[in-house]
A and B are shown apart, each in its own frame.
Chain A
Protein backbone atom coordinates (compact mmCIF):
# COMPACT_ATOMS: atom_id res chain seq x y z
CA UNK A 1 0.00 0.00 0.00
CA UNK A 2 1.39 3.34 -0.95
CA UNK A 3 1.25 6.65 0.70
CA UNK A 4 -1.31 9.18 -0.37
CA UNK A 5 1.50 11.14 -1.86
CA UNK A 6 0.20 12.25 -5.18
CA UNK A 7 -3.06 12.87 -6.90
CA UNK A 8 -2.84 9.59 -8.77
CA UNK A 9 -1.93 7.63 -5.66
CA UNK A 10 -4.95 8.66 -3.70
CA UNK A 11 -7.18 7.68 -6.58
CA UNK A 12 -5.64 4.24 -6.76
CA UNK A 13 -5.81 3.76 -3.01
CA UNK A 14 -9.31 5.05 -2.78
CA UNK A 15 -10.59 2.85 -5.58
CA UNK A 16 -9.10 -0.16 -3.81
CA UNK A 17 -10.36 0.71 -0.37
CA UNK A 18 -13.71 2.30 -1.15
CA UNK A 19 -15.89 -0.86 -1.34
CA UNK A 20 -14.59 -2.14 2.00
CA UNK A 21 -14.82 1.28 3.60
CA UNK A 22 -18.36 1.61 2.30
CA UNK A 23 -19.32 -1.74 3.75
CA UNK A 24 -17.73 -0.77 7.05
CA UNK A 25 -19.65 2.52 7.11
CA UNK A 26 -22.91 0.83 6.18
CA UNK A 27 -23.03 -0.73 9.64
CA UNK A 28 -24.07 2.64 10.99
CA UNK A 29 -25.79 4.15 7.99
CA UNK A 30 -29.19 3.21 6.72
CA UNK A 31 -28.48 3.89 3.09
CA UNK A 32 -25.59 3.63 0.68
CA UNK A 33 -25.77 7.37 0.12
CA UNK A 34 -25.27 8.06 3.83
CA UNK A 35 -22.40 5.57 3.94
CA UNK A 36 -20.80 7.27 0.95
CA UNK A 37 -21.04 10.60 2.70
CA UNK A 38 -19.30 9.09 5.71
CA UNK A 39 -16.56 7.51 3.60
CA UNK A 40 -16.05 10.73 1.67
CA UNK A 41 -15.74 12.84 4.79
CA UNK A 42 -13.44 10.33 6.47
CA UNK A 43 -11.14 9.93 3.50
CA UNK A 44 -10.91 13.66 2.88
CA UNK A 45 -10.19 14.30 6.55
CA UNK A 46 -7.62 11.53 6.58
CA UNK A 47 -5.93 12.80 3.43
CA UNK A 48 -5.90 16.41 4.56
CA UNK A 49 -4.06 15.37 7.71
CA UNK A 50 -1.43 13.79 5.47
CA UNK A 51 -1.56 10.45 7.17
CA UNK A 52 0.08 7.43 5.67
CA UNK A 53 -2.47 5.36 3.79
CA UNK A 54 -0.65 2.30 5.08
CA UNK A 55 -1.92 3.26 8.50
CA UNK A 56 -5.24 1.65 7.75
CA UNK A 57 -6.22 1.43 11.39
CA UNK A 58 -6.30 5.18 11.57
CA UNK A 59 -8.37 5.44 8.40
CA UNK A 60 -10.96 2.99 9.71
CA UNK A 61 -10.98 4.70 13.08
CA UNK A 62 -11.78 7.92 11.26
CA UNK A 63 -14.61 6.27 9.36
CA UNK A 64 -15.96 4.79 12.57
CA UNK A 65 -15.78 8.08 14.42
CA UNK A 66 -17.57 9.98 11.67
CA UNK A 67 -20.12 7.20 11.31
CA UNK A 68 -20.90 7.32 15.03
CA UNK A 69 -21.30 11.09 14.86
CA UNK A 70 -23.53 10.62 11.87
CA UNK A 71 -25.54 8.02 13.73
CA UNK A 72 -26.07 10.38 16.65
CA UNK A 73 -27.20 13.15 14.32
CA UNK A 74 -29.29 10.74 12.35
CA UNK A 75 -30.94 9.40 15.51
CA UNK A 76 -31.97 12.89 16.51
CA UNK A 77 -33.31 13.48 13.04
CA UNK A 78 -35.06 10.12 13.10
CA UNK A 79 -36.88 11.00 16.29
CA UNK A 80 -38.21 14.06 14.58
CA UNK A 81 -39.11 12.20 11.47
CA UNK A 82 -40.26 8.89 12.89
CA UNK A 83 -42.69 8.23 10.08
CA UNK A 84 -40.11 8.68 7.40
CA UNK A 85 -37.67 6.44 9.22
CA UNK A 86 -40.15 3.60 9.45
CA UNK A 87 -40.54 3.80 5.70
CA UNK A 88 -36.78 3.81 5.25
CA UNK A 89 -36.45 0.67 7.33
CA UNK A 90 -38.59 -1.16 4.84
CA UNK A 91 -36.32 -0.24 1.97
CA UNK A 92 -32.90 -1.04 3.35
CA UNK A 93 -30.39 -1.13 0.53
CA UNK A 94 -28.25 -4.24 0.12
CA UNK A 95 -24.73 -4.49 1.48
CA UNK A 96 -23.57 -7.14 -0.95
CA UNK A 97 -24.06 -8.12 -4.54
CA UNK A 98 -25.95 -11.35 -3.93
CA UNK A 99 -25.65 -14.06 -6.56
CA UNK A 100 -27.66 -16.93 -5.11
CA UNK A 101 -29.88 -18.03 -2.25
CA UNK A 102 -27.04 -19.36 -0.15
CA UNK A 103 -25.43 -15.95 -0.23
CA UNK A 104 -28.75 -14.34 0.64
CA UNK A 105 -29.01 -16.61 3.68
CA UNK A 106 -25.46 -15.79 4.64
CA UNK A 107 -26.14 -12.07 4.47
CA UNK A 108 -29.29 -12.53 6.54
CA UNK A 109 -27.24 -14.40 9.13
CA UNK A 110 -24.70 -11.58 9.11
CA UNK A 111 -27.44 -9.12 9.93
CA UNK A 112 -28.27 -11.10 13.04
CA UNK A 113 -24.77 -10.79 14.47
CA UNK A 114 -24.18 -8.35 17.30
CA UNK A 115 -22.67 -5.14 15.94
CA UNK A 116 -19.40 -5.58 17.84
CA UNK A 117 -18.86 -8.96 16.18
CA UNK A 118 -20.03 -7.85 12.76
CA UNK A 119 -17.66 -4.88 12.61
CA UNK A 120 -14.71 -7.14 13.42
CA UNK A 121 -15.84 -9.53 10.71
CA UNK A 122 -16.21 -6.72 8.17
CA UNK A 123 -12.77 -5.37 8.90
CA UNK A 124 -11.17 -8.82 8.82
CA UNK A 125 -12.88 -10.43 5.83
CA UNK A 126 -13.61 -7.60 3.44
CA UNK A 127 -10.98 -5.08 4.44
CA UNK A 128 -8.21 -7.54 5.30
CA UNK A 129 -7.12 -5.77 8.44
CA UNK A 130 -4.95 -7.64 10.90
CA UNK A 131 -6.16 -8.25 14.42
CA UNK A 132 -3.64 -5.66 15.58
CA UNK A 133 -5.17 -3.08 13.27
CA UNK A 134 -8.71 -4.03 14.26
CA UNK A 135 -7.71 -3.76 17.90
CA UNK A 136 -6.36 -0.28 17.29
CA UNK A 137 -9.54 0.83 15.52
CA UNK A 138 -11.81 -0.44 18.26
CA UNK A 139 -9.40 0.33 21.09
CA UNK A 140 -9.55 -3.20 22.37
CA UNK A 141 -6.92 -5.88 22.81
CA UNK A 142 -5.93 -8.13 19.95
CA UNK A 143 -7.20 -11.12 21.91
CA UNK A 144 -10.60 -9.49 22.24
CA UNK A 145 -10.66 -8.73 18.52
CA UNK A 146 -9.76 -12.32 17.69
CA UNK A 147 -12.35 -13.63 20.13
CA UNK A 148 -15.08 -11.50 18.59
CA UNK A 149 -14.09 -12.79 15.19
CA UNK A 150 -14.31 -16.40 16.32
CA UNK A 151 -17.64 -15.80 18.05
CA UNK A 152 -18.98 -14.25 14.86
CA UNK A 153 -17.90 -17.18 12.73
CA UNK A 154 -19.30 -19.62 15.28
CA UNK A 155 -22.62 -17.79 15.30
CA UNK A 156 -22.79 -17.83 11.51
CA UNK A 157 -21.96 -21.50 11.42
CA UNK A 158 -24.61 -22.19 14.01
CA UNK A 159 -27.26 -20.19 12.17
CA UNK A 160 -26.36 -21.71 8.83
CA UNK A 161 -25.95 -25.43 9.42
CA UNK A 162 -25.94 -26.11 5.71
CA UNK A 163 -22.91 -23.91 5.12
Chain B
Protein backbone atom coordinates (compact mmCIF):
# COMPACT_ATOMS: atom_id res chain seq x y z
CA UNK B 1 0.00 0.00 0.00
CA UNK B 2 2.97 2.27 0.57
CA UNK B 3 3.56 2.25 -3.18
CA UNK B 4 0.38 4.22 -3.56
CA UNK B 5 0.77 6.68 -0.70
CA UNK B 6 2.03 9.43 -2.97
CA UNK B 7 -0.84 9.18 -5.42
CA UNK B 8 -3.29 8.90 -2.52
CA UNK B 9 -1.97 12.19 -1.18
CA UNK B 10 -2.36 13.76 -4.60
CA UNK B 11 -5.92 12.54 -4.79
CA UNK B 12 -6.75 13.87 -1.33
CA UNK B 13 -5.56 17.29 -2.38
CA UNK B 14 -8.23 17.36 -5.06
CA UNK B 15 -11.20 19.20 -3.63
CA UNK B 16 -14.64 18.17 -4.86
CA UNK B 17 -16.85 20.91 -6.24
CA UNK B 18 -18.95 22.39 -3.47
CA UNK B 19 -22.72 22.05 -3.70
CA UNK B 20 -24.71 25.09 -4.67
CA UNK B 21 -25.76 27.47 -1.95
CA UNK B 22 -29.41 26.62 -2.17
CA UNK B 23 -29.01 22.85 -1.79
CA UNK B 24 -29.21 23.10 1.98
CA UNK B 25 -32.35 25.20 1.83
CA UNK B 26 -33.88 22.79 -0.69
CA UNK B 27 -33.24 19.88 1.66
CA UNK B 28 -34.65 21.89 4.52
CA UNK B 29 -37.81 22.55 2.60
CA UNK B 30 -38.10 18.94 1.56
CA UNK B 31 -37.76 17.60 5.07
CA UNK B 32 -41.16 17.34 6.68
CA UNK B 33 -41.70 19.26 9.86
CA UNK B 34 -43.15 16.29 11.58
CA UNK B 35 -39.89 14.50 11.00
CA UNK B 36 -38.26 16.72 13.56
CA UNK B 37 -40.75 15.56 16.14
CA UNK B 38 -39.83 12.01 15.43
CA UNK B 39 -36.20 12.57 16.20
CA UNK B 40 -36.63 11.30 19.74
CA UNK B 41 -37.40 7.88 18.33
CA UNK B 42 -34.23 7.91 16.28
CA UNK B 43 -31.90 6.23 18.68
CA UNK B 44 -34.09 3.24 19.27
CA UNK B 45 -34.46 2.81 15.55
CA UNK B 46 -30.77 3.22 14.96
CA UNK B 47 -29.64 0.07 16.66
CA UNK B 48 -32.10 -2.04 14.76
CA UNK B 49 -31.37 -0.48 11.41
CA UNK B 50 -27.63 -0.49 11.78
CA UNK B 51 -27.49 -4.01 10.48
CA UNK B 52 -29.20 -3.05 7.25
CA UNK B 53 -26.17 -1.35 5.77
CA UNK B 54 -25.66 -2.30 2.19
CA UNK B 55 -29.28 -2.61 1.34
CA UNK B 56 -31.75 0.04 0.46
CA UNK B 57 -33.38 1.61 3.44
CA UNK B 58 -36.78 0.14 3.75
CA UNK B 59 -39.61 0.62 6.11
CA UNK B 60 -39.47 -2.35 8.39
CA UNK B 61 -41.70 -1.21 11.16
CA UNK B 62 -44.43 -3.48 12.33
CA UNK B 63 -47.64 -2.46 10.69
CA UNK B 64 -50.69 -3.42 12.65
CA UNK B 65 -53.65 -4.32 10.52
CA UNK B 66 -56.34 -2.31 12.27
CA UNK B 67 -58.98 -3.35 9.77
CA UNK B 68 -58.47 -7.01 10.57
CA UNK B 69 -58.44 -6.29 14.27
CA UNK B 70 -61.66 -4.30 14.03
CA UNK B 71 -63.42 -6.93 12.00
CA UNK B 72 -62.24 -9.63 14.36
CA UNK B 73 -63.46 -7.76 17.42
CA UNK B 74 -66.76 -7.00 15.80
CA UNK B 75 -67.25 -10.64 14.88
CA UNK B 76 -66.34 -11.75 18.40
CA UNK B 77 -68.72 -9.24 19.97
CA UNK B 78 -71.54 -10.30 17.68
CA UNK B 79 -70.94 -13.94 18.51
CA UNK B 80 -70.95 -13.30 22.24
CA UNK B 81 -74.12 -11.24 22.08
CA UNK B 82 -75.85 -13.72 19.86
CA UNK B 83 -75.01 -16.55 22.25
CA UNK B 84 -76.19 -14.51 25.21
CA UNK B 85 -79.44 -13.61 23.59
CA UNK B 86 -80.10 -17.19 22.65
CA UNK B 87 -79.57 -18.24 26.24
CA UNK B 88 -81.62 -15.48 27.74
CA UNK B 89 -84.49 -15.50 25.33
CA UNK B 90 -87.56 -16.25 27.46
CA UNK B 91 -89.56 -19.27 26.63
CA UNK B 92 -92.73 -18.08 25.07
CA UNK B 93 -95.50 -20.23 26.27
CA UNK B 94 -99.14 -19.78 26.43
CA UNK B 95 -101.05 -17.93 27.55
CA UNK B 96 -99.53 -14.54 27.79
CA UNK B 97 -99.49 -11.36 25.94
CA UNK B 98 -96.25 -10.27 24.56
CA UNK B 99 -94.39 -8.95 27.54
CA UNK B 100 -91.39 -6.79 27.88
CA UNK B 101 -88.60 -8.62 29.56
CA UNK B 102 -86.13 -6.43 31.40
CA UNK B 103 -83.02 -6.23 29.32
CA UNK B 104 -80.01 -7.68 31.04
CA UNK B 105 -77.28 -5.48 32.23
CA UNK B 106 -73.90 -6.72 31.25
CA UNK B 107 -70.40 -5.53 31.65
CA UNK B 108 -66.92 -6.59 30.92
CA UNK B 109 -65.38 -8.31 33.91
CA UNK B 110 -62.12 -6.49 33.42
CA UNK B 111 -63.52 -3.12 32.62
CA UNK B 112 -65.47 -0.48 34.45
CA UNK B 113 -67.46 0.26 31.34
CA UNK B 114 -71.00 -0.94 31.85
CA UNK B 115 -73.89 -1.09 29.49
CA UNK B 116 -77.28 -0.37 30.97
CA UNK B 117 -80.57 -1.14 29.30
CA UNK B 118 -81.82 1.84 27.34
CA UNK B 119 -84.99 0.44 25.92
CA UNK B 120 -86.86 -2.26 24.14
CA UNK B 121 -89.18 -1.85 21.23
CA UNK B 122 -91.48 -4.45 19.86
CA UNK B 123 -93.03 -4.05 16.47
CA UNK B 124 -95.84 -6.40 15.51
CA UNK B 125 -95.88 -6.67 11.79
CA UNK B 126 -98.26 -9.59 11.32
CA UNK B 127 -101.14 -11.02 13.31
CA UNK B 128 -103.25 -14.05 12.51
CA UNK B 129 -106.40 -15.16 14.27
CA UNK B 130 -106.32 -18.94 14.57
CA UNK B 131 -109.83 -19.35 15.93
CA UNK B 132 -111.38 -20.45 19.22
CA UNK B 133 -109.78 -23.23 21.19
CA UNK B 134 -110.19 -24.95 24.53
CA UNK B 135 -106.63 -25.20 25.79
CA UNK B 136 -105.75 -27.65 28.56
CA UNK B 137 -109.27 -28.93 28.84
CA UNK B 138 -110.36 -25.50 29.88
CA UNK B 139 -114.07 -24.93 29.87
CA UNK B 140 -113.68 -21.38 28.75
CA UNK B 141 -113.04 -20.96 25.10
CA UNK B 142 -110.07 -18.87 24.14
CA UNK B 143 -109.20 -17.22 20.92
CA UNK B 144 -105.67 -18.00 19.74
CA UNK B 145 -103.85 -15.13 18.09
CA UNK B 146 -100.43 -15.68 16.54
CA UNK B 147 -98.34 -12.58 16.01
CA UNK B 148 -95.01 -12.04 14.38
CA UNK B 149 -92.90 -9.33 15.92
CA UNK B 150 -89.50 -7.83 15.79
CA UNK B 151 -87.89 -6.97 19.08
CA UNK B 152 -85.10 -4.50 19.43
CA UNK B 153 -83.10 -4.22 22.63
CA UNK B 154 -80.86 -1.27 23.27
CA UNK B 155 -78.09 -0.77 25.79
CA UNK B 156 -76.13 2.33 26.47
CA UNK B 157 -72.86 2.97 28.25
CA UNK B 158 -73.38 6.17 30.22
CA UNK B 159 -69.67 6.77 30.69
CA UNK B 160 -68.57 6.43 27.10
CA UNK B 161 -71.83 7.13 25.34
CA UNK B 162 -71.49 3.95 23.33
CA UNK B 163 -74.68 2.20 22.46
CA UNK B 164 -75.52 -1.30 21.43
CA UNK B 165 -78.61 -2.53 19.66
CA UNK B 166 -79.77 -6.04 19.04
CA UNK B 167 -82.73 -6.82 16.87
CA UNK B 168 -84.30 -10.20 16.24
CA UNK B 169 -87.63 -11.59 15.03
CA UNK B 170 -89.98 -13.41 17.34
CA UNK B 171 -93.27 -15.19 17.18
CA UNK B 172 -95.84 -15.10 19.94
CA UNK B 173 -99.07 -16.87 20.55
CA UNK B 174 -101.70 -15.14 22.66
CA UNK B 175 -104.80 -16.72 24.08
CA UNK B 176 -107.61 -14.24 24.56
CA UNK B 177 -110.62 -15.32 26.62
CA UNK B 178 -113.84 -15.26 24.70
CA UNK B 179 -116.57 -13.56 26.61
CA UNK B 180 -120.14 -14.66 26.17
CA UNK B 181 -122.71 -12.31 24.70
Contacts and interface: CB of A to CB of B under 8 A. Distances in A.
A150 B136 CA distance: 109
B16 A20 contact: yes
B100 interface: no
B27 interface: yes
A133 B53 contact: yes
B56 A97 contact: no
A61 to B, nearest CB: 6
Interface string A90-108: 0001111110001100110
Contacts of A15: 24
A40 B27 contact: yes
A48 B31 contact: yes
A135 B51 CA distance: 13
A61 B4 contact: no
A71 interface: no
A97 B17 contact: yes
* Candidate in B3, B15, B43, B45 with the most chain A CB atoms within 10 angstroms: B15
A16 to B, nearest CB: 12
B14 to A, nearest CB: 5
Given A6-B36, A94-B17, A50 B42 contact: yes
B38 A50 contact: yes
B130 interface: no
B23 A18 contact: yes
A43 interface: yes
